[in-house]
Amino acid sequence: MDFESLIRVLAEEHRVMAAALARMEEAATEGDFDGIAETLRELDSVFRQHIADEESQILRLLIEELGVRGAEAEIKVFQQHRPIYKLMQLISELAPKSAPDLKADQRLLNDLFLEHTSLEEQGVFPKALRAYRDLQREGGSKPA
Ligand SMILES: [Fe+2]
Ligand SMILES: [Fe+2]
């Protein structure tokens, strides 16, 4: 997949994961703990592949092109991957033990996820695309 397609796919995956989070919240409201577990399993595999792609391709390109200091803000955004993943794990442990905690953690997860994906779509992805196009113009090596 070329880099521009990768960025489109990643943005599309944000929609898919946001929809799964909304379904999970709905399942929690209905006390449907099997539904929560099932949605989390779906999310888990999409999210893991997603962050692996972001870190191995986008982050690598930004660091190659701009250096660690030049990519400082983007590195910070990608550091949200771990807390997001931890929240998902926490939710899977809480369900069905504690409904109020579950709701609170779901809200945290939703907020963090939305903040994260909008930072990527408004900031990280456009910057990575610019870096990629600069590289292409310079005739530099194309990321895998
Ligand atoms: Fe991300
Ligand atoms: Fe992302």
The CA 50 to ligand 2 mean position distance, Å, reads 6
Mean predicted confidence (pLDDT) in 84-103: 89
Share of the chain above pLDDT 90, in %: 83
The CA 81 to ligand 1 mean position distance, Å, reads 6
The CA 67 to ligand 2 mean position distance, Å, reads 21
What are all long-range contacts of 12-17, with beta carbons under 8 Å and residues at least 24 apart? 13/46, 13/50, 14/117, 14/120, 14/121, 16/46, 17/43, 17/46, 17/47, 17/50, 17/113, 17/117
Question: Which of 3.30.360.10, 1.20.120.520, 3.40.47.10, 1.10.1740.10 would CATH assign to domain 3-138?
Answer: 1.20.120.520
Give the model's pLDDT for residue 98.
85
Residue ranges covered by each domain of the chain: 3-138
Q: What is the pTM of this model?
A: 0.91
> Which protein residues have a CB closer than 5 Å to ligand 2 (ion)?
120
> Residues 9-65: pLDDT tens digits?
999 999 999 999 999 999 999 989 999 999 999 999 999 999 999 999 999 999 999
